[in-house]
Amino acid sequence: MSLWALTWPMFIELVLAFTLGFEDSFYLAKLSDRAAAAVGALLPVFGICNMAFQTFAQSGASVASQLIGGERRAWASRTFIATILLNAVLGAGVASFFFLFDRRVGLWLGLSPEVYAPATEFLTLVGPMLFIQALRFSYASVINARGRTRWNMLAAAFVNVANLGLNHVLTRGTWGLPRLGVAGVAYSTIVAQSLGLIISATVVHAHLKLRWDLAGLWSDLRGCVTPILRIAVPSVIEPLSFNCNQLVLVRIIVVLGEVALAARTYTLNLIAFAIVWSFALGVGTQIKIAHYIGARRFSEAQAQLQRSLRIGMFLGFVMMGVLSLSARPLYGLFTSDPEILRIGRVLLLLGLALEPARTSNMVVGGSLRGSGDARFASFVSVALTWGIAIPLAYVLALRLGLGLVGVWLAMIADEASRGIMNYWRWQTGAWKSKGVLAHEPTSRT
């Protein structure tokens, strides 16, 4: 399939997925800015979990895509099953953690008593649901690797509509039901995500005919799991490090006060509509490049990366320009606080530099992982995120008094430096020898 055929359904799917957070923030903001800020403070926590789930799922999809490109379809099917099982185990572990420690997370984040209460209420309900989220990511990765990205788009649309309707009913007390407040938003998330999992699993097993060949998987368990872990383990370090970095940034922003915390929450919801393009393009490019590498079509992989970079950086800039011009009405959906609007306008303008930098990092880093060359991207991410983003954010935001603007400037420096280093690595050509089939006998099926 063409990159466009792969990417546009993923883009819409991701827009719809991020719209879930937008919807939740909208209904939480109707309760109070404090409720929105409280749940917003948990976003890095959920981000760590979801990025880990997504990384394992995409790693399995990258391995399977290389196998499909190399005409090893039976082996690819076993890899899909192994990916689902690995994510199920990971999701169960995360859900158990939040079940046991839900009341401590807010304390670790340093939330004030007023913000701690609604944040803990939300986490207590939604935390165990992350097991469902882990399975959703794994099934979605199977669908994407098979090139059927429209199914994920349709599932995301259904989840979005269900979440929106449930949010309205459960927070507004429609039809005589009690107004559940923050708990209503949490219950909406749980029900909507559960319905999404049912749809995705049905597509994979009924439409794509993926069978639970556990006997075949067990007979070659090491051969199926090892290539996934070879990509996933170093790859998962990057999002875990990044989101731990975000937790530290939240601690810095908490010091700046509730206005800064609310402004960050609303801004992240708005720029998500620009981020999703970069992410969708990165995943689509990763799938294409994995197929090319499996077929040993290296020149086409190189050309694909260059096209993706040009398209992604240009459209990321354009999207941020549109958001910047629409700052007042967009922030007006959440709040009437003039200070939040003032800060938000500046942050959206800085996004004109941040989003092209983020795109280059996502596209090239994802391509390195898709090729099997995951260690370098992970090392660069950890080193530069902690060596640049955190120290610079602390100095600019707190020592020099730039506040939230200082945090955004540090993020720009971090994303740009990582994108440059990953691009340099790609240009060395080391990725050509990292594929799962690079050292495998050609007779294997």
- Residue ranges per domain, the chain? 3-430
Residue 198 binned pLDDT confidence (cut-offs 50, 70, 90): very high
pLDDT higher than threshold 50 for residue 329? yes
Residue 36 CB burial class (10 angstroms; 0-12, 13-18, ≥19): buried
Task: Name the average pLDDT for the chain.
Answer: 81
CB 275 within 8 Å of CB 358 = yes
- According to the model, what pLDDT value does residue 188 have? 87
Q: Is 177 left (phi over 0), alpha (psi -120 to 50) or beta?
A: beta
CA 34 to chain centre: 25
Residue 444 binned pLDDT confidence (cut-offs 50, 70, 90): very low
Cα separation, 17 vs 369, in Å, equals 23
Q: Supply φ then ψ for residue 148, to 5 degrees.
A: -100, 50
b/e sequence 346-381, b meaning 16+ C-beta within 10 Å: bbbbbbbbbbbbbbbbbbbbbbbbbbbbbbbbbebb
Residue 392 binned pLDDT confidence (cut-offs 50, 70, 90): very high
pLDDT higher than threshold 60 for residue 377? yes
- According to the model, what pLDDT value does residue 385 have? 84
Q: For the ranges 21-35, 180-194, 264-278, which has the lowest average pLDDT?
A: 21-35
pLDDT higher than threshold 90 for residue 395? yes
b/e sequence 314-330, b meaning 16+ C-beta within 10 Å: ebbbebbbebbeebeeb
pLDDT tens-digit readout, 114-166: 777 777 878 888 888 889 989 999 999 888 888 787 888 899 899 989 988 88
86 or 370, which is more confident = 86
CB 274 within 8 Å of CB 323 = yes
- According to the model, what pLDDT value does residue 443 have? 39
Dihedral of CA atoms 249, 383, 368, 415 in degrees, nearest 10, equals 40
Cα separation, 427 vs 301, in Å, equals 12
- According to the model, what pLDDT value does residue 70 have? 64
HEC per residue, the chain? CCHHHHHHHHHHHHHHHHHHHHHHHHHHHHHCHHHHHHHHHCHHHHHHHHHHHHHHHHHHHHHHHHHHHCCCHHHHHHHHHHHHHHHHHHHHHHHHHHHHHHHHHHHHHCCCHHHHHHHHHHHHHHHHHHHHHHHHHHHHHHHHHCCCHHHHHHHHHHHHHHHHHHHHHHHHCHHHCCCCCHHHHHHHHHHHHHHHHHHHHHHHHHHCCCCCCHHHHHHCHHHHHHHHHHHHHHHHHHHHHHHHHHHHHHHHHHHHCHHHHHHHHHHHHHHHHHHHHHHHHHHHHHHHHHHHHHCCCHHHHHHHHHHHHHHHHHHHHHHHHHHHHCHHHHHHCCCCCHHHHHHHHHHHHHHHHHHHHHHHHHHHHHHHHHHCCHHHHHHHHHHHHHHHHHHHHHHHHHHCCCCHHHHHHHHHHHHHHHHHHHHHHHHHCHHHHCCCCCCCCCCCC
Full-model pTM: 0.67
Q: For the ranges 67-81, 238-252, 348-362, which has the lowest average pLDDT?
A: 67-81
CB within 8 Å of 157: residues ≥ 6 apart: 12, 16
CB within 8 Å of 356: residues ≥ 6 apart: 313, 316, 317
Percent of the chain with pLDDT strictly greater than 70? 91
Residue 381: name the closest of 347, 351, 425 by CA: 425
Q: For the ranges 53-57, 85-89, 270-274, 321-325, which has the lowest average pLDDT?
A: 270-274
Residue 347 binned pLDDT confidence (cut-offs 50, 70, 90): very high
- According to the model, what pLDDT value does residue 169 have? 83
Cα separation, 173 vs 180, in Å, equals 8
Cα separation, 439 vs 223, in Å, equals 13
Half-sphere exposure of 303 (CA within 13 A, CB side): 6
pLDDT higher than threshold 80 for residue 272? no
* Residues found in the chain: 445
Mean pLDDT of 158-180: 80
- According to the model, what pLDDT value does residue 134 have? 92
- According to the model, what pLDDT value does residue 434 have? 67
Residue 435 binned pLDDT confidence (cut-offs 50, 70, 90): low
Cα separation, 210 vs 3, in Å, equals 24
Mean pLDDT of 376-397: 88
- According to the model, what pLDDT value does residue 409 have? 94
